[in-house]
Amino acid sequence: MIIAKTIGEARAVVHRWKAEARTIGLCPTMGYLHEGHLSLMQASIRDNDRTVATVFVNPLQFGPAEDLAKYPRDFERDCRMLEAEGVDMVFAPDASEMYAEDFCTFVDMTMVSEGLCGRSRPVMFRGVCTVLTKLINIVYPNRMYMGKKDAQQLAVVRRMVRDLNFNLEVVGCPTVREEDGLAKSSRNIYLDPAQRKAAGVLSRSLRAAQEAIAAGQTESAEVIRLLRSKLEEEPMSDIDYVEAVDGLSMQPVERLKDGDLVAVAIRIGQTRLIDNFLVGDPLIDVLRS
Ligand code: AMP
């Protein structure tokens, strides 16, 4: 596996692959990898001749009060996991390689990025769109792989690719979960054992909402009320948002139809956790307590 730390090194490899007419899959990550990330790599390896993973904790997408400094990192472990998976190149630049001191160009979006996570993390999607634009311009992928766990991020990136005519396909990959249903996340490491147990409320509540919809409930307000009451059963959970939105525009809907997104963010202690389902998705697998 090639480890590229500079844009020049990554570009030289990509140039060679393009000359050989290889297709390239790109899997952007912030590292501290888990099986959720690895599922993106597996999908990319299946679909493309070459797979590039990026490991970059992007300072642009963290607000001043967020966890940039303490975001978990273990690059050597990440490399071992990526190599075992069969990834061809990892691109892991320093922040200074990506952002010159006088960097001043951003990719910004209205509407799709403004609600849900965009409301509580106002700089996040500008940071995501900007860094992905740079990574796409460095790697020239045929396909880019992103997790459905970050459903709004996926919708934002799909919209950016469409609006700005990026010549690639965005592939959404299913959420990989722990045994009790909690979506795998690098941030789960922040949870102490009691908080980790409490975090199970997120997927259990979403599963209850899925069951209500499967039983015929189509009123968003009712589904949101049910979700809120389930989440409030766990005293350690502090709700950030519970929303039902159109799956493409991220605008609130009153009546639910297939493809709409039901999304939740909560805080447990200092840790913010998100999860979601699309109406029509299979039921989330949760362990019954
Ligand atoms: P991150 O390192 O958290 O920025 O995530 C990098 C990519 O992995 C994003 O496209 C995420 O949506 C995806 N991802 C993170 N957690 C999971 C998961 N549990 N299942 C599937 N994809 C995930």
Q: Which atom of ligand 1 is nearest to the CA of 183?
A: 19
Catalytic residue check, 37:
yes
Tell me the one-letter amino acid at 105: T
Give the separation between CA 147 and CA 27, rounded to whole angstroms.
10
54 lines ligand 1 (CB under 6 A): no
User: pLDDT-derived band of residue 289, with 50, 70 and 90 as boundaries?
Assistant: low
pLDDT at 287: 78
Give the separation between CA 270 and CA 68, rounded to whole angstroms.
13
Beta bridge partners of 268: 237, 271
φ, ψ dihedrals at 144, nearest 5°: -125, 135
Give the separation between CA 208 and CA 211, rounded to whole angstroms.
5
- Across residues 223-232, what is the average pLDDT? 98
237-245: strand order across its sheet: 237-245, 261-268, 271-278
CA 79 – ligand 1 centroid, Å:
17
φ, ψ dihedrals at 189, nearest 5°: -65, -25
φ, ψ dihedrals at 7, nearest 5°: -60, -40
pLDDT at 45: 98
Query: Which tens digit of pLDDT belongs to each residue from 173-205?
Result: 999 999 999 999 999 999 999 999 999 999 999
Q: What is the mean pLDDT of the chain?
A: 97
- Across residues 11-23, what is the average pLDDT? 98
Determine if the pTM surpasses 0.75.
yes
152 lines ligand 1 (CB under 6 A): no
Alpha helices in 24-142 (DSSP H): 35-47, 75-85, 95-98, 116-120, 124-139
Query: Which tens digit of pLDDT belongs to each residue from 239-276?
Result: 999 999 999 999 999 999 999 999 999 999 999 999 99
Query: Which tens digit of pLDDT belongs to each residue from 140-167?
Result: 999 999 999 999 999 999 999 999 999 9
Cβ within 8 Å of residue 140, ≥6 positions away: 14, 18, 24
Q: Which atom of ligand 1 is nearest to the CA of 149?
A: 12
- Across residues 197-225, what is the average pLDDT? 98
156 lines ligand 1 (CB under 6 A): no
- Across residues 116-140, what is the average pLDDT? 97
155 lines ligand 1 (CB under 6 A): no
Q: Looking at the predicted structure, is the pLDDT value of residue 288 above 80?
A: no
- Across residues 210-238, what is the average pLDDT? 98
User: pLDDT-derived band of residue 93, with 50, 70 and 90 as boundaries?
Assistant: very high
Which of 30, 31, 37, 279 is catalytic? The answer is 37
Q: Looking at the predicted structure, is the pLDDT value of residue 60 above 70?
A: yes
The residue whose C-alpha atom lies closest to atom 17 belonging to ligand 1 is 36
The residue whose C-alpha atom lies closest to atom 6 belonging to ligand 1 is 29
φ, ψ dihedrals at 266, nearest 5°: -130, 160
When mean pLDDT is compared across 206-210, 268-272, 284-288, the lowest value belongs to 284-288
Q: Which two tokens stand for residue 109?
A: 């979006």
